[in-house]
Structures are given as structure tokens and as C-alpha cells.
Structure 1
Amino acid sequence: MKPTLFQLHLLLATPVVLLGTQVAGQLAPASPAPALLSGLGLLLLFAAPLWWRLRHAFSEPNPLGGGPPEQIWTADTASEVFARNFARTGILLGVALAISVIVFALTGAHEPPDQALEVLSYIIQGLFVLTAFTLTITSVPLDTASHDAVGDSRKSMKRINQVALGGKDLPLTEHDRLVALRVAIVAPLRLRLRGFGITFFLAFLAVGFGRNIALGEGDIFDFLLPALLLLLALIRIPYVAGQLRRARHYASENLPRPLAERSSANVEDR
């Protein structure tokens, strides 16, 4: 499953599983069993397409587990790193969603529809914030890997970033060229994970926005904040897209040709 489809899968699965739990609770309020079984059944249905990836994500050593800064990563490093973060996020959200289904089925799914929907919206918001936070945290080791490779020299870091991410043709030492290659490989993963995190945070705001409209609550700030953050995200997209394009170009130009072709294919498959 490609990264964008993975993100949409998680965004869709969370409300659908909880809404299914609520519907079953409303149809059979006398017992929590129908709501519980419906919610967990939907969760398993959505989790099934991801299972094959989760099984293999941690089978190889962590590529970020160490090594000298001058070490050139293999062609498979990018896809391995993304797969580990992909699996970590999916597992955490799956466990949190399962717990939410159980709690909601036992306590709130059988309540009056308006009350149940309000509770459900808060649960969805909590899950989206958890996912956004997890995706942001998983990008930290990627920052560390880049920083460790560059070292403590801010001047060197700026120069390498200008080459690897800015597309500038600046003279580099042999060591710095190897470091720039690592930075160029890491950057698309780091930026993609952070982009996923921002998307889930915007989804969190969108759920709260929808709840305020449905309940006729909220002030002008509640409506302006999501719009402002969405505008800022849209403004930043071209800048980030440019960094991604330049980093991929630098990596493809500086990896040995067979490795570059295999790396590109692996990332697309992920």
C-alpha cells in the first residue's frame, strides 16, 4: 500500500469503526455485545490489508541503529525506515482504536444519538491527535540520523542542506558528499512523516469544527483557527514539495545507478 493510501486508510477506518459501533449500540441497546462485536469486526476488516506489511516491518535490523557518519546507506534503507514507521503508527492506532471500541461499546454507544455522537467525536479527535503525535515523534530519529552524520558544525550543516535539499552546486569534500547523500535519502521520509502528522492534526480540527456546527456551539475563533492552519499548510506545500523533489534528484544522481533504480522502485512500492 502506498503512503497516501495508507494515510487515507487510517483516516477512513477510525470514524467508520466507531460509527459502526454506535449504530449497533443504537439498534440493540439492551446489551453491549452487538456494538462490541460490530466495532471489533470492522476493525479487523480494516486491519487485514495492513497485516502483511506489519509482519515484515521489524524483521530486519533498524537502519537508524548506528554506524559511522560516513557510512553510505544501502538502496533499501529508505523503504526499510518508512516501513518501520508505517508499522509503528498502524499498530499504535489499531490498539488505541480497539480500546476505544471496547470502552465506547460498554459505556456510550447505547446513549441517545446526539449524546453518543458527541462522545464519539471526542474519541475520534483523541485518536487523530495520538496518531499525529506518533508520526511527529517517529520523524525525530531521522533528524538525529541527519544531524549525527553532519556533526556539530552549523556551517557544514547549512552547506550540505543547500546541496542536498536546495539543489545548489557547491563544492563538497568526499566526506560531505557522503553525508549529503544520507541527508537526501532521509529528507523525503522525514518530510513525509511530518506531512502525515499535519494531516491528522487538521483532521482533528475538522472533527471539532463539524461538531460545533452540528451542536450550534463555538465562537469565531473555533471557525477561524482551522481555516488559518489549513491556509498555512497549503502555503507550505509548494516549498516542501520542492525540497522533496530536489532531495530525490540528488539521491538518484549520486547513488550508483543500479542502487538508485532499486531504491526508487522500493520506495514507490511502500
Structure 2
Amino acid sequence: MHEEGNKTIESTQGRWWLAKNGLPEGPLSHQEITDALKLNRISSADYAYSSDEKEWKPLSDWSGFECGPEESALQSPPAPPVESYPIEPLITNPRLSPMANWICIYTLQISPWLWCFYTISQMTYGTVLDENDPLMGIEALAIFFSMLASLGVTISLFIGGARLRALSRSGPNIIILSIVVATAVNLLLFLWGMVIIAMADQSQFASKTVAAELIDYFVGIVGICEWAFMLTTLFWLRRNARFLPLS
């Protein structure tokens, strides 16, 4: 009598079939499937058929089934909130020292803008010699070469700064080489300019407006500050680059 009562109760709960290799396996009771889940013999992704609902669905979509402890532990949690994402600086690196980060800021942000500033200011106040002077073509060639060389140095500094920020050992070497080349080129252009001025007739100098002269003085002050920082960077990197966390 007792066994017949259990069968009657179990039959009212419906019967289940599991999909195994494209074939139904069963019938199984609700308790048998639950025990198999707890023992990790089956997965919650396995498809099951209910005699009551008359449809196939993954076990995870059926209510009343619990996953085994191991399977529950392996399930991926939901995505963390956006507030937990680290915000990495664009032009600095927290692992670098303050001076190294200032070098990154200069090479990645300040240097390109300074090149644009120098180029626009040069186009604004023009040449030193009058356009009728025979040496004016040589001065224009020197200005063009100066702009081209400064562009190359700016690009090289940007690449070195990007590698330094990425903790690459080649970063300081590229920056040091760029500063050395820039120094040599500017000294050569300075001597070239002095020779042109010495050979030119004083009466052939182009007249400058007050605005052009102010721009010229401002460019000179900015240039002195930039070169002071570049030389400081050169000596600092030669002395401290080996202590940076580079690879």
C-alpha cells in the first residue's frame, strides 16, 4: 500500500526526459534530475522535456532545479559596475616618477602644439631680409629646413614619449637622440643665420611692425624655456633612465 501511494504522488508530479546525443533519456523523476544536478552528472544547460508542459527547455529554464555546488561556483558573475573600471591617464603612467611623467606630457602634448605655434609665428613675422635682397632665397631655404627638421624632431619626441609611457626601454633612448639631433640642427641653423646676416646689406633688412616684434620676443622666451626643459630632460634621462621600471 505504501509503495502504491508513493507511485501515485510521484505520478502527479509529472515525468521528465533528458536529451542525450539527440535522443530522449527517461522517464525520470524530478528528484532524480535534482540529484544528478547536485552530483554534476548533468548540466543545467542540458535540455529536459516535461510531460506536464509538453516542451523541451534547458534545465536552467525550468523552475525547481538547483545546480550543483561546483557548477554554481564556475558560473560567471554579471559584469561589474562601470564605476569600478580603472581610468588610466592618457599621457602619463602611474608607475613612472613625476619627472618621467612630465617628460611624457611634454613629448606627447606640449611639443606638437609648440611646433604649430612656431610655424604659425614664423609665417606671421616672415623673413629678416627684404624680398629684394639676393640672400633672401638662402634665408627662406634655411627657414624651410628649420621647419622640416623641427617637425621630424617633434615626431621623434612623440614616439619616444609614447614608448616611455608604455614602459618601453627604447623610449628614453629615442628622446635623448631626438634632443641631441635637435640641438645640433639648431646650432647649425643659428650659425647659418649669423653668416647670412653678416653678409647681408644692413639697408636690406625687412621692416617689422610692433605686433611682429612682440611675437618675435614672445617666441624667443618660449623657445628659451623649451630648450631649458629639453636640456634638463636630456641630463635627467641619461642619469636616471636605468632606474625607471622599463622593459
TM over 0.5, shorter chain: no
Comparing both structures, which one devotes a greater share of its residues to strand? 2
Tell me which of the two structures has the higher relative contact order, counting C-alpha pairs closer than 8 angstroms and 6 or more residues apart.
1
Q: TM-score, normalised by structure 2?
A: 0.31
Q: TM-score, normalised by structure 1?
A: 0.29
Q: Which has the larger radius of gyration?
A: 2
Comparing both structures, which one devotes a greater share of its residues to helix? 1
